[in-house]
Each structure stands twice: as structure tokens, then as C-alpha cells.
């Protein structure tokens, strides 16, 4: 393997090919429009001439003598009978013609625009700003020739005073422009003379660029470019013959124009103003510009992104017992993916043993997967496929310096990715665990960053091939390095769904567990059973849920916050009757319920604190242990929800129906008022709009009332409510819709309106503005929707589906543009943000130089945390104390406080200085933080 420094391309110079250069680089002159003879052998001086390179095995290139994979291909040439305009430069040519004298070629004063027009996208649809046309006839100051107006008749015809200027004449004029004037016109004659924009020779790309394909039927099918070149050659030939024979001017001109057409479409088959050249089947040909352009073009599809080896893709499924840093890889896939092992004197024997195993070794005594070897790369670079049969022989070839491509092993680091890759957390590094079965598996906590679920999602896996890549992946890309999101400075990897329910069940009102239960709960964790929290009435030892949860916490964690279940009660911490105020002291959960606010992704305060204060490895450990504890907890406690969870008692139902009925009546009343013109108009609203607003308000209230009535019977003993309140899944609104009423359906933010003339469905009277006729669904999902309601509900549903579809494409394009505009920005070593041209974009990143990932929800430092840490306890601010009542100190005026604080610092500073002078400076940046 090549070692040391690799070469680096410093810059690329773009330039024109002059006709001479084209001739010089061409290996053969193409004159025959035919490709192959009857034996299928390339015709000489045809488009498939062997001088152009070879694409078939067994043939050798006539130019370089190389075989299929050795010959890079060579250009040929077509000498055009008459010059032809290059479509891409028609506008540029027009500018030059307008700016220079028609007789002497010198630049004219007041040229329409001396600056080259910026690239615009007129060829892709947008409106192009036009160069200003010179108004009056001008006279050349050099030769006093009167100038005429030049018009470009798109795409390639130039007219002067409605006389056509032939490409030949165009070329002659461009030739007359002296170099210094070319420079003044913002072109660089060193890299391209203007007359080269009119073609006299056409380079023929090598056959590798336009390979012909052989169909199963043995028929040969030529590439689009070849087809186009055939056309060019044919017309070129006819044009030459006619011209030489002295055919009538008209005929020659027609042929000339035809040649122009073919060459134009050869370059760009989507030139506006001319019909695209088509294949026999009617499909437009894909010519040069089409090959480069757009999403499937060379640039975006083959240069900016590439297909890779050493990758795998399969369906994903969850495995809560894996660490968040791991990914389960099926054996079948592991056998197909390899890691290069560089053989040295030290590992030679191991490598030999591996090679000896061949590509599919049998499992070991414990029936565990053993890795094999797929390829061996000898010192001389030759690649040998290792098979069962030649394994022994291959093993003998293993010498220091050779490379053994061994199959995947537990602990290998790989990249794991799910599309769409919208942020950097869409591709993270995992450690491999080889597992039976056929899916990739990973911990559920990794779902949010990948935005994955298991309804058939597939994901990709890439095996890193170099030591450098592995090192970078390990340091920068491991899952645990991405627990905190750079988007908002909080965890993006965290507990979800059942984990949260489990944590809730484990900690809410602190349930107790017996020894067998605790044994089971901790069976997936590597902790000894803690001392029991007490004894039950039979004298048996018991443990409680908060105690068990505390096991997973780091011992220095001190935290206080309110749970998701907090219902705005104003209980004091430690004494909340809803158990909604979480108090964690030194790693012990003293009070409160662990739910979404504590451990979920995006929100989890506990998770956030651990990641920030104890580091990522500890956060990973917490997530790993917590997800294991969660699955045992929920398995032990059990939670099921069904349709009867939304049952409400008979009289509640009556109440709901009654309230809906009265809402309906109120709406009718409003409509009646509106009809009579008694409705009071809202300022700035029409009468109709006023009615709509009021009706919507009324019906919204009706739904809420229905939900509220239903909610009275849905307490925290109800599993569905546990899910909603703990933040695991669903919301109270969902429950309201199931138990109470679904509510108003809307399209475009308005009550349903369209369908039939002045009504939504034929079931209603024309002009009915009442609740039912305009899409109010008063049934609940549980009671079932009436046919009209069902239809209305589908209308709303359809809108949201369409919305999603439109949204993904729109936001995708916005993101592409954002990325393209910002991709080059980086924080320079001086802390400024610069683009690659060196322009300063920001003097200090984000005005404070803080990395959002490491920020505390955007703030550089959590002052509360600092105070808590310094004092070892949570201190209430004076505002809070004031809010807590007169028990605290009497309020202090602000100035007073300022003075106090200042005095404090004043004293302290002096002490400190003395201290500092005494002790050697200890740079915190080098300290072990």
C-alpha cells in the first residue's frame, strides 16, 4: 500500500479547446457514419474505430495497445464541412458581435455590457435579464464603419438588419477581435479565443464514454451520443458533397442548418426553440448537457455522491438488550463484509489461521460465529479470492505486507445510516454484534436520531476500511457522542414509549416489590440487589421502585424539576401529593415520578444532566441500563390498553350528548342571527367571517366540554391515561376524541365547504350553515362515526396526507439550498466563522463562541447548576423566595443587592490574588475535566 503523503490537486484551470488542440489530441479522423461491419467488427474511421479505445474483451486499442481495463480511451475528430455555432455560447457570441466593429473587429465604445453576463438560468425556465440593446446606429471610431443592430434568433441564428450572418462570417468577425480587446470584453484569450466558439472541428469522445450494449437477442444497441454523431457525420458528408459539387446555395444552406441542428442537439437536446432529437421510440435523446445536468446527472449523481462497496442493507428491528452504541448484524451479512487486516510479523500467525478457515468457517464449540476471510491481497497487489478449496494454499501466501480481508467481528466499528439523512445523527458509528436472524438490530433509544421505526424500515451499514477512518468514527461518530443534539443543546437520544411507561410504573407513588420481583427486575442489569427498603407486614423484605430506579443514576446527581404529570398543583417539593415534583439528591430519587420530562429524548432533564456533568460514556451507561430496567419493569407490571379504556358511564355519555346538542342549538341560533342580520360584526371582518369565527369557537368549546366530561372518568389508573400523562404516547386530546367527540373537521383551516353546489354533501340542504352540515363530527371514535361524519373525517385526513407529501419535497429543497449556501463555513482557529474564500462571516460564532451541542439549551452555562454545584444544594433566588411568601428574608432592593454582591466580590478578589501568587498557576484547560 502506498504510504506517506498523497498528492493533492491544488487547482483546476478551465479553458477552451482550440481547433488545433482538438486535432492534436485526436487519434483518428472519423469519416464513416457506420459503426460495425457485418461481422460485428468496428469499421475503420467509423464511430467505433479501434483507435478510439476498446470496450470489448479480446481486442486491443490501436492507439495505446491496451486492453479493456487498461486503455483510457482516445478522442477522434470530425472535420466539419462548414463552421457551426456552439449553442452554449450563442449569447456570448451575440455580446461580442454587438461590442465589436463588424469590419475591423475593434471594441466599440459604449458596448452593451463590457462585463460578461452572469450565468442565469434562462435555459432552465427563469426569465433572463436582457442585455440592453444599443439604440441608434453607431460608427466605429477606428474604421468609421457604420454598425448595425445584431439580433440573436434563438437558438443559433444571428441576424444583422434582418440579414442572416452565416457562422462562417461570425467566425471571421470574431477572428478579427484583437487579444487586448478580448481581454477588455472580460474573456481570457489565453484560455480561449472567441472564434473557437464557432466550431470547425468536432471532437468525438472515446467509445468508453458511449459504450454500445448488446441485448440478449444479440442485437447491438448504440448509445445516444453515437446516434447523434452518426447524424452529424451523415449530414456533414452530404453538406461537403453538395458544396463541392456546387449545388444551389439554397440546398447547401439547408444542409448547413441541418448540421447546425444536429450539433446543437448533440450538445444540448433541451435547447429551447428547437424540437429535441428523438430516438426511434420517441424518447428524447440524452446528449451531453443532459448527461451532466440535474439530479441524475454526472455532477449530482456520480461526482458529488458515489456508490460504495463494503456496505449492506436490510430491515431493522429493535433489541433493547443491545447497548445504544451497538448494532446487531446478521451472520449472513457479516460474512459478506470485510475489514482489511494488514499482516505484520506480529499478527502473521493469526492472519494465517484466519485464512485457513476459509470464507465460511464452522461455528466454534460454543456454537458462536467465527469470522473467515474472503480475499487475500498479496504483497504484489494481486487479489485472490479465498475459497474452501484454496484456503490452505492461500494461508501459505500470507506474508507480512499482504492484506487479509477478514469478515466482520464483534467489536468492529461500522457506520449505520437511515435515509433521508437530514442531519449528522442520521449516520452514526456503532460497534458490531454478530447475531442470528436476518435483520439489523439496535437499541430503541437510537430511533429518534435516525427517525426510525420498525414497520419495515431498512437501514444501511458501511464498514470502515482504513485505520484513520476507524479512529475518526470512534472519536467523532459513535452514538454516545451524539446524545446531545447540536440543534437545541439537549438530548436527542433518549427513552421513548414503553421505557417511559415503565419508568412511570416503577416510580409513581413508589410501588413496592418482593424479593422475587426485584430479582427479576434487576436480572438484566449488572447490579447486586440493594439492601431492602423495609419489611412488609409479614416481615418479608421489600424494595421500592424509586430505590431501584436510583440504581441507574450516577451517585453525584442532584436535580430538582417537575414531572410531565405535574398538573399545576402548588405542592412543595418532597410533599407533592401527585408525586409530580422530582427531587434527586446525590443519585437517589427522593420524590417524584420519572416520566417524559426526566428521561425522554428532547426533554429528559435527568438524561441531560448526566450527559453534561458525567460525560457521554456515563450517559450511554444510563441509557443502556435504563432501557434494560424498563423492559423488565414493564414486563413485570404489565400494561394493556383497549377500546374499553375509553368507556364512560351511562350518565356521563348522556351529559356529553347533551352538551353537544346544546352546542348545535347555539350554532343554529348564531346562523339564525346571521340570517336576520342581527349578528354583531367583528371589526375588520365580514359578516360571514364573523359567523365562521363564532361558530368555530362554539364548536371547539363543545369538543373541549365533551372531552372534559369524559376526562372526569379517565384517571391515572386508566392505562391509556398513563400513556398520555406520562408522555409515553398519545395525548389527552386523542383520548378526548375517542371518548368524547372528534370535533370539527377542517380543510385549509376552515370548516368544510366544498363538494356540491353550496353544500358539502347531498344529505344537507343548500346553504345549510349548521354544525353537522359543515363537518362537525359529534361522535367519538369509540361510538363510531356516522356515514356523513366519516366522509368529512376523510376529507380532513386527505388534506393532511397531501400536506405531508408536499412538505417533504419543499423542505427537502430548502435544506439542499441551505446546505449548499453554508457548507463551506467553518470556525477558523481564531474563533471567527469564515467561508473558504476567507471572508469573515461572523467575528465570533453565535456571538459568544459557544457550541450549541455543549450549550445548556442554548445558554452558554446553566447558572442554576453552577450555583447548585458550588453550594452543594439548590438555592432559591430571591424572586422565588419572595414568591414563596414572607417566610424568607425581607425583599431587598436591587441596588442594595448590587452593593452587597459587589462587596462580596471585592473581598474575595483580594484573598484570591494572594492565593494565586502563592500557588503555581494551574491551567484549567489542561486539567482533567
Partner 1 sequence: MAEEKKAPPRDLITRIQEIAIRENGLPLPPSLAEGTKAKLQSLRLSPADATRVVKEVARRFRRAEVDAHESVGIVAAQSIGEPGTQMTLRTFHYAGVAEMNVTLGLPRLIELVDARRVPSTPMMTVHVEKKLKGDRDMVQKIALQIEVTTVPDVASISAIVEDLKVVVSPQAALLEARGVKRAELEAALIEGLDARLFEVKPGSGSGETRSFEIHLKESVAGAAKSRKEELVEDMPFKKLLIASEQAKGIQIKGVTGIRRALIRREKDEYVIYTEGSNLEGVIEIAGVDGIRTTTNSVFEIYRVYGVEAARAALIFEANRTLAEQGLGVDIRHLMLVADVMTNEGDIRAIGRHGISGKKTSVLARAAFEITAAHLLRAAITGEVDELKGVAENIIVGQPITLGTGAVNLIYRPLSSTTVVTPAAKIEDAKEAA
Q: Which of 39, 364, 380, 929 binds partner 1 (CB under 8 A)?
A: 929
The verdict on 922 binding partner 1 (CB under 8 A) reads no
Q: Judged by CB under 8 A, does residue 184 bind partner 1? A: no
Q: Pick from 814, 873, 883, 884: which binds partner 1 (CB under 8 A)?
A: 814
Q: Which of residues 156-175 bind partner 1 (CB under 8 A)?
A: none
What pairing do the DSSP bridges indicate for beta strands 311-318 and 326-330? unpaired
Q: According to the binding rule CB under 8 A, does residue 146 interact with partner 1?
A: no
Q: Does 25 bind partner 1 (CB under 8 A)?
A: no
Q: x-or-dash pattern for partner 1, window 835-864, by CB under 8 A? A: xxx-x-xx-xxxxxxxxx-xxxxxxxxxx-
Within 87-106, the residues that bind partner 1 by CB under 8 A are 88-89, 92
Long-range contacts of 870-875 (CB under 8 A, 24+ apart): 872/558, 873/558, 874/558, 874/560
Nearer to partner 1, 659 or 745 (CB): 745
Q: Binding of partner 1 at residue 733 (CB under 8 A)?
A: no
Which contiguous run of DSSP H or E holds residue 334?
helix 331-336
Min separation Cβ 774 and partner 1, Å: 18
- Comparison of 387 and 682: residue with beta carbon closer to partner 1: 682
**What residues from 744 to 803 belong to the interface with partner 1 (CB under 8 A)?**
748-749, 803
Stretch that binds partner 1, among 147-155, 312-320, 341-349, 815-823 (CB under 8 A): 815-823
Which span (39-47, 285-293, 355-363, 764-772) binds partner 1, by CB under 8 A? 285-293
- Compute the least distance from the CB of residue 185 to partner 1, in Å: 10
Q: DSSP for 347-390?
A: THHHHHHHHHH-SSPPP-TT------EEEEE-TTS-EEE--TTT
Q: Which of 168, 293, 497, 618 binds partner 1 (CB under 8 A)?
A: 293
268 near partner 1 (CB under 8 A):
yes
Using H for helix, E for strand and C for coil, what is the string for 35-47? Answer: CECCCCCECCCCC
Taking a C-beta distance cutoff of 8 angstroms, is the pair 289, 267 a contact? yes
User: Looking at 68-76, 139-147, 488-496, 519-527, which segment touches partner 1 (CB under 8 A)?
Assistant: 488-496
Distances (CA, A) of 102 to 145, 152, 173, 177, 423: 8, 15, 6, 10, 57
CB of 378 to partner 1, least distance (A): 22
- CA–CA distance from 876 to each of 320, 890, 897 (Å)? 40, 14, 15
- The reply to whether 894 sits near partner 1 by the rule CB under 8 A is yes
Choose between 635 and 892: whose C-beta lies nearer to partner 1. Answer: 892
For 314, the enclosing helix (H) or strand (E) is strand 311-318
Rounded to an integer, what distance in angstroms lies between the CA atom of residue 717 and that of residue 198? 84
Q: Does 187 bind partner 1 (CB under 8 A)?
A: yes
Among 687, 821, 883, 884, binds partner 1 (CB under 8 A): 821
Considering only the stretches 155-163, 411-419, 428-436, 481-489, report the one whose residues sit in contact with partner 1 under the rule CB under 8 A.
481-489
What is the closest distance, in whole angstroms, from the C-beta atom of residue 430 to partner 1 in the complex?
A: 20
CB of 164 to partner 1, least distance (A): 24
Nearer to partner 1, 48 or 610 (CB): 610
Piece in contact with partner 1 (CB under 8 A), picked from 326-334, 387-395, 526-534, 873-881: 873-881
Q: Which of 380, 887, 906, 919 binds partner 1 (CB under 8 A)?
A: 906
From 32-40, 70-78, 782-790, 817-825, give the range in contact with partner 1 by CB under 8 A: 817-825
What is the per-residue DSSP string for 802-837?
HHHHHHHHHHHHHHHHHHHHHTT-EE-TTS-EE-TT
Give every CB contact of residue 519 below 8 A, 6+ residues apart in sequence: 529
Enumerate residues 189-218 that contact partner 1 by CB under 8 A: 190-192, 194, 197
Q: Rounded to the nearest whole angstrom, what is the least distance from the CB of residue 679 to partner 1 in the complex?
A: 15
CA distance 743 to 796: 11
Which of the stretches 37-45, 408-416, 581-589, 682-690 binds partner 1 when contact is defined by CB under 8 A? 682-690
Query: What DSSP designation does 582 have?
Result: E
The residues in 3-22 that bind partner 1, with binding defined as CB under 8 A, are 4-5, 8-16
Distances from the Cα of 276 to the Cαs of 33, 253, 256, 268, 279, in angstroms? 21, 21, 18, 9, 10
Sequence-ordered list of residues with C-beta below 8 angstroms from that of 228, at least 6 positions apart, any chain = 262, 265, 266, 277, 285, 287
Q: Does 417 bind partner 1 (CB under 8 A)?
A: no
Is there a contact between 80 and 241 (Cβ–Cβ < 8 Å)? no
CA dist 492 and 324 (Å) reads 13
**Are 464 and 473 within 8 A, CB to CB?**
yes
Distance, CA of 429 to CA of 350 (rounded, Å): 27
680 makes contact with partner 1 (CB under 8 A): no
Q: Does 56 sit near partner 1 (CB under 8 A)?
A: no
One of 142, 385, 515, 807 touching partner 1 (CB under 8 A): 807
Site string for partner 1, 543-582 (x = CB under 8 A): ----------------------------------------
The distance of closest approach from Cβ of residue 259 to partner 1 in the complex, given in angstroms and rounded to an integer, is 20
Length of the chain (residues): 929
Looking at residue 890, what DSSP letter applies?
A: P
By CB under 8 A, the residues from 300 to 329 that bind partner 1 are 300, 303-304
Tell the residue number behind the cell numbers 486492453, with chain if given.
67
Q: Rounded to a whole number, what is the largest CA-CA distance in the chain? A: 121
Residue 505 cell numbers, joined: 410504573
Q: Specify the 3-state DSSP secondary structure of 129.
A: coil
Is 123 an interacting residue with respect to partner 1 (CB under 8 A)? yes
Q: Of 289 and 322, which CB lies nearer to partner 1 in the complex structure?
A: 289
The conformational region for residue 574 under phi > 0 = left, psi -120 to 50 = alpha, else beta, is: left
Residue in 810, 873, 883, 884 binding partner 1, rule: CB under 8 A: 810
Amino acid at each position: 500500500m502506498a504510504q506517506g503523503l498523497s498528492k493533492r490537486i491544488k487547482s483546476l484551470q478551465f479553458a477552451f479547446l482550440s481547433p488545433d488542440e482538438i486535432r492534436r489530441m485526436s487519434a483518428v479522423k472519423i469519416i464513416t457514419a457506420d459503426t460495425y461491419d457485418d461481422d460485428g467488427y468496428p469499421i475503420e474511421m467509423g464511430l467505433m474505430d479501434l483507435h478510439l479505445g476498446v470496450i470489448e474483451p479480446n481486442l486491443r486499442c490501436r492507439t495505446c495497445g491496451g486492453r479493456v481495463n487498461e486503455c483510457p480511451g482516445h478522442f477522434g475528430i470530425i472535420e466539419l464541412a462548414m463552421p457551426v455555432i456552439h449553442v452554449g455560447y450563442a449569447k456570448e457570441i451575440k455580446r461580442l458581435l454587438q461590442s465589436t466593429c463588424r469590419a475591423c473587429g475593434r471594441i466599440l465604445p459604449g458596448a452593451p455590457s463590457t462585463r460578461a453576463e452572469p450565468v442565469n438560468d434562462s435555459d432552465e425556465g427563469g426569465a433572463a435579464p436582457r442585455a440592453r440593446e444599443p439604440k441608434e446606429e453607431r460608427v466605429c471610431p477606428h474604421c468609421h464603419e457604420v454598425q448595425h443592430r445584431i439580433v440573436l434568433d434563438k437558438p443559433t441564428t444571428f441576424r444583422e438588419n434582418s440579414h442572416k450572418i452565416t457562422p462562417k462570417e461570425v467566425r471571421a468577425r470574431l477572428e478579427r477581435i484583437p487579444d487586448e480587446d478580448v481581454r477588455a470584453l472580460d474573456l481570457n484569450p489565453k484560455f480561449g479565443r472567441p472564434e473557437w466558439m464557432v466550431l470547425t472541428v468536432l471532437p468525438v469522445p472515446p467509445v468508453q464514454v458511449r459504450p454500445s450494449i448488446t441485448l440478449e437477442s444479440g442485437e447491438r444497441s448504440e448509445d445516444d451520443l453515437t446516434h447523434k454523431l452518426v447524424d452529424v457525420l451523415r449530414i456533414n458528408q452530404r453538406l461537403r458533397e453538395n458544396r463541392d459539387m456546387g449545388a444551389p446555395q439554397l440546398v447547401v444552406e439547408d444542409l448547413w442548418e441541418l448540421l447546425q441542428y444536429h450539433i446543437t442537439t448533440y450538445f444540448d437536446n433541451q435547447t429551447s426553440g428547437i424540437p429535441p432529437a428523438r430516438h426511434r421510440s420517441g424518447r428524447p435523446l440524452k446528449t451531453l448537457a443532459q448527461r451532466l445536468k440535474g439530479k441524475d446527472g454526472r455532477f449530482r449523481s456520480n461526482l458529488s455522491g458515489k456508490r460504495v462497496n463494503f456496505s449492506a442493507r436490510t430491515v431493522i428491528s429493535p433489541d433493547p438488550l443491545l447497548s445504544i452504541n451497538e448494532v446487531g448484524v446478521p451472520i449472513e451479512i457479516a460474512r459478506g463484509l470485510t475489514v482489511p487486516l494488514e499482516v505484520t510479523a506480529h499478527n502473521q500467525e493469526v492472519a494465517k489461521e484466519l485464512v485457513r478457515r476459509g470464507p465460511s468457517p464452522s461455528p466454534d464449540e460454543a456454537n458462536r460465529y467465527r469470522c473467515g476471510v474472503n480475499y487475500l491481497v498479496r504483497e504484489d497487489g494481486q487479489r485472490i479470492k479465498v475459497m474452501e478449496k484454496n484456503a490452505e494454499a492461500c494461508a501459505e501466501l500470507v506474508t507480512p505486507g499482504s492484506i487479509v480481508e477478514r469478515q466482520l467481528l464483534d467489536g468492529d466499528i461500522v457506520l449505520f445510516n437511515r435515509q433521508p439523512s437530514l442531519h449528522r445523527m442520521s449516520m452514526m458509528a456503532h460497534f458490531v454484534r454478530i447475531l442470528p436472524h436476518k435483520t439489523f438490530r439496535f437499541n430503541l433509544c437510537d430511533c429518534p436520531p435516525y427517525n426510525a421505526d420498525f414497520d419495515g424500515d431498512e437501514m444501511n451499514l458501511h464498514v470502515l476500511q482504513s485505520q484513520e477512518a476507524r479512529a475518526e468514527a470512534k472519536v467523532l461518530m459513535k452514538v454516545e457522542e451524539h446524545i446531545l443534539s447540536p440543534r437545541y443543546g439537549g438530548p436527542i437520544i433518549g427513552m421513548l414509549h414503553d421505557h417511559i411507561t415503565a419508568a412511570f410504573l416503577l416510580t409513581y407513588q413508589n410501588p413496592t416489590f418482593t424479593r422475587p420481583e426485584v430479582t427479576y427486575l434487576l436480572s438484566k442489569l449488572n447490579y447486586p440487589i440493594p439492601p431492602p427498603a423495609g419489611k412488609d407486614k409479614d416481615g418479608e423484605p421489600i424494595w421500592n421502585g424509586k430505590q431501584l430506579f436510583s440504581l441507574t443514576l450516577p451517585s453525584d446527581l442532584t436535580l430538582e424539576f417537575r414531572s410531565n404529570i405535574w398538573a399545576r398543583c402548588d405542592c412543595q417539593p418532597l410533599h407533592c401529593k401527585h408525586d409530580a415534583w422530582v427531587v434527586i439528591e446525590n443519585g437517589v430519587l427522593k420524590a417524584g415520578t420519572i416520566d417524559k420530562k426526566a428521561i425522554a429524548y428532547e426533554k429528559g432533564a435527568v438524561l441531560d444532566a448526566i450527559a453534561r456533568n458525567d460525560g457521554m460514556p456515563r450517559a450511554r451507561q444510563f441509557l443502556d441500563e435504563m432501557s434494560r430496567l424498563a423492559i423488565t419493569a414493564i414486563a413485570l407490571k404489565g400494561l394493556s390498553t383497549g377500546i374499553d379504556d375509553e368507556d364512560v358511564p351511562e350518565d356521563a355519555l348522556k351529559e356529553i350528548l347533551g352538551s353537544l346538542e346544546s352546542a348545535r342549538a347555539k350554532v343554529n341560533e348564531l346562523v339564525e342571527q346571521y340570517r336576520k342580520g342581527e349578528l354583531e360584526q367583528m371589526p375588520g371582518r365580514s359578516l360571514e367571517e364573523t359567523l365562521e369565527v363564532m361558530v368555530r369557537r362554539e364548536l371547539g368549546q363543545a369538543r373541549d366540554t365533551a372531552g372534559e366530561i369524559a376526562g372526569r372518568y379517565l384517571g391515572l389508573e386508566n392505562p391509556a391515561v398513563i400513556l398520555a400523562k406520562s408522555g409515553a404516547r398519545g395525548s389527552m386530546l386523542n383520548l378526548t376524541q375517542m371518548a368524547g367527540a372528534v370535533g370539527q373537521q377542517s380543510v385549509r383551516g376552515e370548516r368544510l365547504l366544498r363538494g356540491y353546489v353550496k353544500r358539502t354533501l347531498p344529505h344537507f340542504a343548500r346553504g345549510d350553515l349548521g354544525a353537522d352540515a359543515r363537518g362537525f363530527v359529534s361522535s367519538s371514535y369509540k361510538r363510531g362515526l356516522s356515514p356523513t361524519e366519516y366522509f368529512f373525517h376523510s376529507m380532513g385526513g386527505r388534506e393532511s396526507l397531501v400536506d405531508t407529501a408536499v412538505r417533504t419535497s419543499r423542505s427537502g429543497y430548502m435544506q439542499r439550498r441551505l446546505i449548499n449556501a453554508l457548507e463551506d463555513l467553518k470556525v477558523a482557529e481564531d474563533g471567527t466563522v469564515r467561508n473558504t474564500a476567507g471572508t469573515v462571516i461572523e467575528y465570533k460564532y453565535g456571538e459568544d463562541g459557544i457550541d450549541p451541542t455543549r450549550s445548556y439549551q442554548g445558554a452558554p452555562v446553566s447558572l442554576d447548576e453552577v450555583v447548585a454545584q458550588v453550594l452543594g444544594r439548590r438555592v432559591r433566588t430571591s424572586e422565588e423566595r419572595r414568591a414563596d411568601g414572607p417566610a424568607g428574608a425581607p425583599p431587598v432592593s436591587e441596588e442594595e443587592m448590587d452593593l452587597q454582591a459587589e462587596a462580596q466580590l471585592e473581598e474575595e478578589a483580594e484573598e484570591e490574588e494572594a492565593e494565586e501568587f502563592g500557588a503555581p498557576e494551574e491551567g484549567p484547560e489542561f486539567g482533567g475535566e
